[in-house]
Amino acid sequence: MNKQANKKTLPSVCPLDCPDTCSLNAQVQDGTLIAVKGSKANPYTDGVICNKVARYYPDFVHGQSRLTHPLKRVGPRGSGDFERISWDEALDLIHEAFAAAIVKYGPETILPFNYAGPHGELGGGSMDRRFFYNMGATMLNRGPLCGAVRGGAYASVFGNAPGMPPVQVLHSDLVLIWGNNVTVSNLHLAPLLKEMRKKGGKLVIIDPKRIKIAEQCDMHIQIRPNTDVVFAMGLAAELERRDALDHAFIGDWVVGFDTYMAQARDYSLEQVEEICGISAKEFHAVADLIQAAKNMACSFGNGIERGRSGGSGLRAGMILPALTGHHGRLGAGVVAKSGVATPKNQPRLHGDHLMKPGTRVFNIVDLGMLLQDDTLEPPIAAAMIYNHNPVATHPDQVNLIKGLMREDLFLAGSDVVMTDSMALCDVILPASSHFEHNDVFGAYGQNYLQRAEPVIPCVGESLPNTEIFRRLAARFGYDDPIFKADDAQLMDDAINSGHPQLNGIKGSALPVDKAIEMKALNGEQMIMCQNVIPATPSGKIELFCQDYEDRFGFGVPRYDPVLQDRPFVIITPSSDKRTNATFGGHAASQGLEMVEMHPLDAAERGLNDGAKVTVFNDLGKVTLQLKVTDATRPGVLYSPKGTWRATSDTGLTVNALIPSDVRTDIEHGAAYHETFVEVKPC
Ligand code: SF4
């Protein structure tokens, strides 16, 4: 038989938690995914994908860790002893346990413990929400784990209006890349920046680490972590002193200027030097570039949001272009949230009307503590982990594991592969990867809408999330048609076909070989303060946020330092081997993860490159391999996030060092980068 004849290349879309949402070409043979490559269906991603998806996805789908049938725990929790069971038995076990808990404590004793594993609309949140809303289960505020601070900061300034699509940086003559490791986390911005520089534009990287793109920029500001707000507001004050603010633009488009500048003027050059660790020469050089720019664009990653003053840092950075009139033209503005233009209808898809009034909502970051709280009324008696690997991603890992290890907790789980979190469950349901089901995809970092169909049959007995929750809904006797909607109906529910650029095309009828570009309502490219109006209460760019003043006391951004009680701050950005914790089980992520340390710090401790070290604080201990490099600042350690427990001799990862009781200034977010540690040889 000619094997080549069975080979097919089929269109797909990357569902991972990444702003780029690439269009893919999936190569399949006899029902097996054999390779994943980029496709040109999406002009923004244009045939290029990251190495991790190209290298690790086929193994993720078909490798040894793939969950192919339901499992029941038969040994002590966490022992890894499971036996195969049927779907009927698995659903019965979950139904029995949830029903018994509900009889004892009421429906809020049930917790859907989910986050953002897949980013397709159906896989990410659809029938599951309908199921748990109807049940009356406790809900989670998931954003504080990641994203809510950045999203909230943006919305406080611009409302829910789309920002600059990344492709427009081609029209910029100055781009500030701030806390965004582009080549790892925002890959397709990198060639655009290169092109922008070729045309004479300037690129400034503001990042505590000399990331890869910092090696090809005009200036790298190696800022001390968690001090961005001081730098941004100090720049605002400096530009005002230079009479470089655009008062005509401010008059037309900005509110809250006086209140904002009163705070900004508090940050002197000396404070910028002392707090941010930036020299006066560097500070003035950045101010010079901003003053000279005709079209400045700023791009912010999630790195900034991970500090106590993260919301303020993001807001102050996002406000800079408004002060200098860098909006209203191609290439000027804030590169963020252009995906907001996608006409999603999540309330309809999720069935928001099913949610019971007054439903209990927990901050996801609190779960380590809440799972162990004896006084909680009602307690969390049963939970279902899906679209999430909390053990690998939450702060305060030790307490989270303790909470999940409770013998009186019934823990159901669903995932594509066996993970550290699934290993703690009582019943595991095998979920299909997105290569095995239909879905529609917006993006959070670009402005194309895409759809994908299954390219291979469901592996083993796995099922798509939608079908898992349809079956659970049937087990619980939810017989309204809303719980029987098939995937085509769910895709239709997910997208508003009445949007002018869709011309009535329903979600289920979107093309799979062509991404649809979302534009301004007039059909042109989106430009803030031209054909896109800030969706704030005032319709202008707001430098003061009453809501944040009322809820957090941060109407205006400001610096709120956390006392450092150990010699190092450790930052844990994205890895080039994993997307968050996805692919953490792949062979490439096994063995010790590395921790980078500046040569001066290593010499002071007598530590050599390659040494095995223990990084520790009062919360936990992790074994890592030392990499001595001046890519990090003295006093700052860097270790990529998303490792799994087996990589460290202690069975804990860097997440065990991260406090959960330090929260960001806005949105009660996890402050991953307010982590202070010491290092010693193993
Ligand atoms: S993880 Fe990001 S860069 Fe990689 S393929 Fe997916 S969307 Fe593209």
Identify whether residues 171 and 316 lie together within a single domain. Answer: yes
Domain count, the chain: 4
Which 3 state secondary structure label does DSSP give 244? Answer: coil
In sequence order, what DSSP letters do the residues of 273-303 get, joined into one string?
IIII---HHHHHHHHHHHHH-SSEEEEE-TT
- The answer to whether residue 201 sits within a structural domain is yes
In one-letter notation, the amino acid at residue 327 is H
Q: Whose CA is nearest to atom 3 of ligand 1?
A: 50
Find out whether the beta carbon of 443 lies less than 6 Å from any atom of ligand 1: no
pLDDT digits (tens, 9 = 90+) for 134-183: 999 999 999 999 999 999 999 999 999 999 999 999 999 999 999 999 99
Across 577-592, b (16+ Cβ under 10 Å) vs e yields: bbbbbbbbbbebbeeb
Whichever domain contains 545, its CATH number is: 3.40.228.10
- pLDDT of 521 reads 86
What pLDDT sits at residue 4?
67
Q: Are residues 327 and 186 in the same domain?
A: yes
Question: Distance between CA 114 and CA 119 in Å, rounded?
Answer: 12
CA 237 to chain centre: 32
Which domain range does residue 384 map to? 71-146+360-478
In the beta sheet, which residues pair with residue 334?
298
As a whole-number percent, the residues of the chain with pLDDT over 70 amount to: 99
Of all residues in the chain, the percent with pLDDT exceeding 90 is 96
> 3-state DSSP helix/strand/coil percent for the chain, to nearest 5?
35, 20, 45
Cβ of 596 below 6 Å from ligand 1:
no
| CA-based nearest residue to 462, from 27, 71, 9 | 71
Q: Is residue 601 part of a domain?
A: yes
In this structure, the answer to whether residues 596 and 669 fall within a common structural domain is yes
Which helix H or strand E contains 621, and what residues bound it?
A: strand 620-628
The CATH number that applies at residue 665 is 2.40.40.20
139: β partners: 361
Which atom of ligand 1 is closest in space to residue 54's alpha carbon? 5
Residues 246 and 172 in one domain: yes
- In this prediction, residue 645 carries a pLDDT of 96
Protein residue closest via CA to atom 4 of ligand 1: 50
Whether residue 2 is predicted with pLDDT greater than 70 in this model: the reply is no
Give pLDDT, residue 298. 98
What SS3 class is residue 423? helix
- My answer on whether 427 and 295 are in the same domain is no
Closest C-alpha among 126, 124, 86 to residue 461: 86
Q: Is the CB of 367 under 6 A from ligand 1?
A: no
The pTM for the full model equals: 0.96
- Nearest Cα neighbor of 117 from 457, 472, 385 is 385
CB-ligand 1 contact for 20 (6 Å cutoff): yes
Place of tokens 């329903």: 506
Residue 519 lies in a domain: no
Cβ of 16 less than 6 Å from ligand 1: yes
* Token output for 666: 């806005």
Instruction: Please tell me if the CB atom of residue 462 comes closer than 6 angstroms to any atom of ligand 1.
Output: no
Same structural domain, 76 and 132: yes
